[in-house]
Amino acid sequence: MIITFGLLGVIALAFAAGDMTRLSGGTSGIAADDVATVGKADVTANELRTRVQTEMEGFRQQQPTLDMASYVQQGGFDGTLDRITASLALEQFGRQQGMVVSKRAVDGQIASIPRCRARPASLIRPCISACWSNGS
């Protein structure tokens, strides 16, 4: 437990040092449009903005009076950024360890979505987009 907190402390210090370098005009390897870098992957401001808006809209269905200011104040922005960076880190770790998802497994998951069954191959991509946007 102590080792875990120690490791988290070191990671926090590394992020803080990176932020200080960027604020003081140094180069930290993050482009002007990037808000975070995880390994070789960058999180752009546009990607983060889109994800924050999408997640806030999802929460707004449960809480209709939710606005962006209260969403950010309640930790929604930080949570979204944390989820994006954790996902990228996990994806890169998996690749480094040789873990991949086969095309057959992906196709099987798509085929298990009722709306996507019996669709021609040319309509699969729009079907997936429709399923994701409707939460199916």
Model pLDDT for residues 41-97, shown as the tens digit of each residue: 889 999 999 999 999 999 889 999 988 889 989 999 999 999 999 999 998 888 888
Question: Residue 3 pLDDT > 50, yes or no?
Answer: yes
Euclidean distance between CA atoms 91 and 70, whole angstroms: 31
Per residue in 59-69, pLDDT (tens digit) is 889 999 988 88
**pTM value surpassing 0.75:** no
Tell me the three state secondary structure of residue 29: coil
| 122 has a pLDDT exceeding 60 | no
In sequence order, which residues have a C-beta less than 8 Å from that of residue 136 and are 6 or more positions away? 113, 114, 115, 130
What is the model's pLDDT at position 39? 86
Q: Please choose, from the candidates 16, 18, 77, the residue with its C-alpha nearest in 3D space to the C-alpha of residue 48.
A: 77
**Phi-psi category of residue 115: left, alpha or beta, with phi > 0 → left and psi -120 to 50 → alpha:** alpha
